[in-house]
Structure 1
Amino acid sequence: MARELRALFFDFDGVIVDSIQPKTEAFRLLFQGYPEHIVKSVADYHRLHGGISRVDKIIHAHTNFLGKPLTKEEVKEWSRRYSELVVQKVIDVSWIAGAKEFLHKAKENGLKIFVISGTPEDELKYILQQRGITDLFQEQLGSPVRKPEHIRWLLEKYQLNPVDCVFIGDALTDYDAAAETGLAFIGIQGEVDFPEKTTVLPDCTGLQEALDDIFL
Structure 2
Amino acid sequence: MSLFDKYKSWFFDFDGVILDSNKVKTDAFFEAAKKYGTPAAQALVDHHVSHGGISRFVKAEYLFNDILKRPAQAGEIDQFLTDFAKAVTKGLMTCAQTPGLNSLMSGPLKNIPCHVISGSMQTELRDLMEKRDILGYFDNVFGSPDSKDHIFARELKNGTIQQPAVYIGDSLYDFEMADKYGLDFIFAYDWTEFSDWQNFFQDKDVLIVKNLAELA
- Summarize the Cα distance change of 1:71–1:187 in structure 2 as closer, same or farther, 3 Å threshold: farther
Q: Deviations over 1:10-37 (max 9, x none)?
A: 0100000000111111111112244433
> Would the aligned equivalents of 1:114 and 1:138 in 2 still touch at CA under 8 Å?
yes
Alignment correspondent of 1:115: 116
Aligned to 2:44: 42
Q: Could you tell which deviates more after superposition, 21-30 or 194-203?
A: 194-203
The answer on 1:66 being equivalent to 2:74 is no
Is the 1:15–1:170 Cα contact (8 Å) retained in structure 2? yes
Query: In 2 relative to 1, CA 13–80 (structure 1 residues): closer, same or farther, beyond 3 Å?
Result: same
> Displacement, 1:122?
0.9
Of stretches 164-173 and 59-68 in structure 1, the one that deviates more from structure 2 is 59-68
**Which digits, 9 at most, give the CA deviation of each residue in 1:66-96, with x for residues without a partner?**
2222146321221122111112321221112
Equivalent in 74, 90, 101 of residue 99 of structure 1: 101
Tell me which residue corresponds to 1:149: 150
What is the aligned-residue identity percentage?
28
Which amino acid is the alignment partner of residue 180 of structure 1?
Answer: K
Segments of 5+ residues of structure 2 without an aligned counterpart are: none
Alpha-carbon distance between aligned partners in 1 of 2:8 and 2:187, rounded to the nearest angstrom: 19
Query: Taking structure 2 as the reference length, what is the TM-score of the superposition?
Result: 0.84
Root-mean-square deviation over aligned CA pairs: 2.1
Distance 2:43 2:101 in 1: 31
TM-score of the superposition, structure 1-length normalised?
Answer: 0.84
Rounded Cα–Cα distance in structure 2 between residues aligned with 1:107 and 1:73:
44
Where structure 1 has 5 or more consecutive residues not aligned to the other structure, the ranges are: 209-216
Residue 183 (structure 1) aligned with residue 183 (structure 2): yes
CA contact (8 A) 2:9 2:162 kept: no
Deviates more, 1:25-34 or 1:113-122: 25-34
- Superposed counterparts of 1:138-177, under 5 Å: 138-158=139-159, 160-162=161-163, 164-177=164-177
Quick one: structure 1 residues 160 and 81, their matched pair in 2 at CA, closer, same or farther if it must change by over 3 Å? closer
What's the offset of the Cα at 1:159?
6.2
Task: Output the amino acid matched with 1:188.
Answer: A
- Contact 1:8-1:111 within 8 A present in 2 as well: yes
